[in-house]
Structure formats: C-alpha cells, structure tokens
Amino acid sequence: MPVAANRTRTLAAVAGAMLVAVLATSRAGSTTAPAAPPERHGSVTLEPGYVPPNDPESSSVRIGRRVNAPYVKMPFTGGARSLEELGRKVCHALDYETADSLFTLTVGQDEFRYILWPEFPMSRP
C-alpha cells in the first residue's frame, strides 16, 4: 500500500474518533437540564447592591406636602372663607339645582397650576 493511502486512512480514523467524542460529549450534555436564566426583576430597586439616590424632599411624600415649595401670593377667587361655609354653599347649590353657583365654588385652572400643584408631592422633579 502506498504511504498516502495509509495517511488518508489514519486521518479518517482520527477524524472519526474526534466525531464520536464530540457526539458523545454533546449527548451527555443534552441529558442535563439547561442552566436556568438569571432571575430578572421588574425594578432596578430589587437588584443586589441598589442604593437609592439622595432625595432631600423624600419626606414630602409621607407628610403629604412639599416642605420646600415656593411661597405663592396669588389668592383664590370665589369659594368660601371656611370649610363649613363651603359645605353650606355646596349644599345650597345642590338643593336649588343651580349649577352655575356650584361652578363658582370650583378651583380654576390657574389656581390649580400656580397654587395647588407646586405643593403636591407628585410635582417634585
């Protein structure tokens, strides 16, 4: 037999042995369960090592108003001078079915924007 034929048979045998080893390894690996993906959270606050940022107004959410809200000099228009008077005016307007009287007791858009909203904790940046 020529030397080239022996070399070809030897290479074929080595390649076959390598193929058998690869197939055996892949079959052995396929019988085990795949690795579970890392657990993912919907929030970064649940991740290990999370530290909340410094928030000087964080207490405003608990107390229901902003401590550092800017002072507003704009007065409310319409309405009533006390909570009792407001209740009486609302009851009177409902009793006599006067929608325009009830409407005058509401907060206007500018009053909400410039007086109320800056005070709410949700308005914090």
Q: Give residue-wise pLDDT tens across range 65-109.
A: 787 777 888 888 888 889 999 999 999 999 998 888 888 888 889
pLDDT at residue 16 greater than cutoff 70: no
| 91 inside domain | yes
CB burial of 31-44 (b: ≥16 within 10 Å; e: otherwise) equals: eeeeeeeeeeeeee
**Please, where are the H alpha helices in the chain?**
3-30, 59-63, 83-95, 99-103, 109-111
| 47 inside domain | no
Please give the distance of CA 115 from its chain centroid, rounded to a whole number.
28
Q: How confident is the model over 54-70, as a mean pLDDT?
A: 77
| 108 inside domain | yes
pLDDT at residue 9 greater than cutoff 80: no
Q: Is 30 helix (H, G, I), strand (E, B) or coil?
A: helix
70: CB partners within 8 A, 6+ apart: 118
| 50 inside domain | no
| 68 inside domain | no
Other Cβ atoms less than 10 A from the Cβ of 67: the count is: 10
Q: Which domain holds residue 3?
A: 1-28
| 98 inside domain | yes
Q: Is 90 helix (H, G, I), strand (E, B) or coil?
A: helix
Per the structure, the count of domains in the chain is: 2
Cα distances from 36 to residues 32, 40, 46, 108, in angstroms, run: 12, 11, 19, 57
| 105 inside domain | yes
pTM for this entry: 0.45
